[in-house]
Amino acid sequence: MLPAVCGKLAHPTSRCVSFHDTRANKRVGGLNLPPMISAKALGAMPQFVLEAAGERRLLRAFDSADLPVHFIEERGGYISEHALATFVHEAARSAGQQNIGLLWSPYLTVADYGAWGGYVLSAPTLGAALIRASAVMPFHSSTDRAWLETSGTSARYCYRFGLRSHLAYPDIGFSAVGVFLSIFRAYLGNDWKPWAVLLDFPKVPGFVEAEDTYACPVVWNASRLGVEFDASALRAEATPQKLTGGSTTVGDISRERLGGPPQTLRVQVEEVVWQQLHREEMSIDATARSLDLGVRTLQRKLASEGVRFREIVNDVRVARAEELLTDTRETVSSISSILGYETANNFSRAFRKVTGLTPSDYRKMNSDSS
């Protein structure tokens, strides 16, 4: 028996229907690690801030979250949930927008989530789509989970964000509701409304805006985040037009998202350092800040995995150098500068230490082989 959601919305005979894809679950681990989420979770947020507040404020929000500006256009890899929440918080502050999550919620859609969204929306019915979203959630986030609850004629679709302690959580919650309502509307039309939106946090200033946004009752301080709706909606079928080309698979998601979020701290740090290459600030301070860890805590945890931060930076730099030497015409001196080395000689020594070749020899060897 599930606990009551709240007042009249509680159902004493309700049951929880949980769906899991074992292929996805095997790729999730290290729940004690900082929560990570697909960069695609940014969705239309950066574009909204750009149009509503301007480029300068958007760049300020990215900088505050230690995120590279290329996320305006790209959504590759994983970012920490702390970085995502910090971006949302700074976007609201910079734009002077109270409850910014409510403002952009109607414009967020799972369709922006790449293969993940394509797989969900290619399901034949709404119920199957929600089952798919729950099953492949581990590809989207290391800690977030979604599930379906049913009881008689009532159903609830619920979501739990892995970092609920952040100041931006209400806006994260509003955003999440907007994203999964987009799944419902893909099957039921834009005029469809749930019975109620459930929010697992207290009323915010300007709370009446929530009912205006969702056009339905809003329950605050609910035991979970989600929507309650008529269970008959689960049988709604996709239109033939919507299913055209709908052949996305779990394998497509795995390939797009490199098998899922990082499962060790070392790989998490590597992900952050790759992002820092675009910001030209590869520092342990910025990395610790992005993962919401103290510098000493980060160093201690990395040591327990047998690696130092500097080693990770060197590995990432060399890997990027190999790409630049093979696929671009940048000079060795220019690549050295791009990667943050003080001199080309320092770069050459570091590169040779790892690969056994000078950058020039590496380029020549790969040029000859191609």
What sign results for the dihedral spanned by CA atoms 174, 176, 179, 180? Answer: negative
Going by pLDDT thresholds of 50, 70 and 90, the confidence category of residue 53 is: confident
Mean pLDDT of the chain: 86
Give 265-368's CATH code, choosing from 3.90.180.10, 2.160.10.10, 1.10.10.60, 3.30.70.360.
Answer: 1.10.10.60
**Long-range CB contact pairs, 165-169, < 8 A, 24+:** 166/81, 166/82, 166/85, 166/86, 166/89, 167/85, 167/89, 168/85, 168/86, 168/88, 168/89, 168/92, 169/85, 169/201
- Residue 148, both tokens: 């379906």
Going by pLDDT thresholds of 50, 70 and 90, the confidence category of residue 368 is: low
Report pLDDT digits (tens) over 285-297.
999 999 999 999 9
Q: What does residue 226 show for φ and ψ, rounded to 5 degrees?
A: 170, -165
Per-residue model confidence (pLDDT) at position 275: 87
Per-residue model confidence (pLDDT) at position 276: 87
Q: For the chain, which residues make up each domain, given as ranges?
A: 36-257, 265-368
Report pLDDT digits (tens) over 109-151.
999 998 999 999 999 999 999 999 999 999 999 999 999 999 9
Q: Could you tell me the pTM of the whole model?
A: 0.83
**Which residues pair with residue 227 across a beta bridge?**
157, 197
Q: For domain 36-257, give the fold.
A: H-NOX domain (3.90.1520)
Going by pLDDT thresholds of 50, 70 and 90, the confidence category of residue 244 is: very low
Query: Does residue 330 contact residue 302 with C-beta atoms inside 8 Å?
Result: no
